[in-house]
Structure 1
Amino acid sequence: MTTSETPPMATPRVAAGALFFDESGRVLLVKPSYKDGWEIPGGYVEPGESPRAACIREVQEELGVSPAIGGHLVVDWAPAQNEGDKVLFIFDAGILTEEARAEIKFGDGELTESRFVAEAEMDGYLPARLSRRIRTAIRARHRGVPAYAEHGDEPQTR
């Protein structure tokens, strides 16, 4: 097959985030300084970097802590208008202890605030697509089995 015969391939942006919980099961959200709204800690994967390594790096850069990051909870195919194709990972960061929470420092200036939010209150903080993705990740964590999602939701099986 020659180069001219090679079919077009997706070249998605890849990002990875960490899902932290408190002892009550609430999710850690962070407020970026560079845009409106809230997010979970994380960011884009750099060339040659694995999604898990990017998640660990981003948590360290954004929060100044280095907790253990577990396996992935969800992989989400989530193309966005004006941004193109995206593959987004959420990793299980477990419970962020009170001691670890006391060590959080927003060293790189990307974040201005963090707070734990109950699942029922997430819609007031997050874009709908991220709320769906986090809910899918929470369900996957409870099942003990990672999930595949499209636009935040698990596809219905036939």
Structure 2
Amino acid sequence: MSDSEVHEAVGRPRTAAGVLFFDEVGRVLLVRPTYKPGWEIPGGYLHPGETPSEGAAREVREEIGITPPIGRLLVADWAPHPAEGDKLLFVFDGGVLPADERARIVLDGVEVDRFAFHRADQIDGLLIPRLARRVHAAIGARARSVTVYLENGVGFGVGG
């Protein structure tokens, strides 16, 4: 088998990473992208050679201008997109952002033009369904101190 045949047989998903941040009452930080409707969690696609945690930290810095430590992995989600192909998406725990850290948030104004903290019961009305499922799973994983594997935002196997 030639090198090109081997490479064709290997999956090459688009990989992205995001971070869940909370305020003191447990609400989740969401950002509003400028380039599409709806809300997201801070994060985005990885650069070549970048680890998921590095990409998550970079995206947080670029989008909302803060550099808090990125915590443990909460979710890995295999989520193919009909138009964009296979995706592997990671969600990390950013923990509780204290008031002084929240005061330092500066939006990039290019990719993100607004941020707000939302209760978990508001997420379904703000996020696209597959992201809402992923965020709910991440909130649950954080509460149980586990990491979950999802497929299209749905639990799969142990811990799902």
Work out the CA distance in 2 between the residues paired with 1:124 and 1:112.
Answer: 19
Q: How many residues align?
A: 157
Work out the CA distance in 2 between the residues paired with 1:12 and 1:156.
Answer: 21
- Which TM-score applies when normalising by structure 2? 0.93
User: SS of 1:16's equivalent?
Assistant: strand
Structure 2: 5+ residue stretches without partners = none
> Superposed, which structure 2 residues align to 1:23-62 within 5 Å?
23-62=24-63
User: In the alignment, which residue of structure 2 is the partner of 1:82?
Assistant: 83
User: In the alignment, which residue of structure 2 is the partner of 1:103?
Assistant: 104
8 Å CA contact 1:12, 1:87 repeated in 2: yes
> Superposed, which structure 2 residues align to 1:13-24 within 5 Å?
13-24=14-25
User: SS of 1:81's equivalent?
Assistant: coil
Runs of 4+ in 1 over 2 A off after TM superposition: 1-7
> Superposed, which structure 2 residues align to 1:91-130 within 5 Å?
91-107=92-108, 109-130=110-131
Structure 1: 5+ residue stretches without partners = none
Q: Does 1:67 align with 2:52?
A: no
Work out the CA distance in 1 between the residues paired with 2:111 and 2:4.
Answer: 43
Amino acid at match of 2:2: T
Work out the CA distance in 1 between the residues paired with 2:100 and 2:3.
Answer: 55
- Which TM-score applies when normalising by structure 1? 0.94
User: In the alignment, which residue of structure 1 is the partner of 2:2?
Assistant: 2
Which deviations, in whole Å up to 9, do the C-alpha atoms of 1:46-100 show, x marking residues without a partner? 0000010000000001111111110110000000011000000000000011111
8 Å CA contact 2:149, 2:157 repeated in 1: no
Which deviations, in whole Å up to 9, do the C-alpha atoms of 1:19-52 show, x marking residues without a partner? 0011111110000111110000000000000010
User: In the alignment, which residue of structure 1 is the partner of 2:136?
Assistant: 135
8 Å CA contact 1:148, 1:154 repeated in 2: yes
User: SS of 2:154's equivalent?
Assistant: coil
Structure 2 CA distance for partners of 1:121 and 1:4, relative to 1, 3 Å? closer
Which deviations, in whole Å up to 9, do the C-alpha atoms of 1:109-134 show, x marking residues without a partner? 21111011111111111001000000
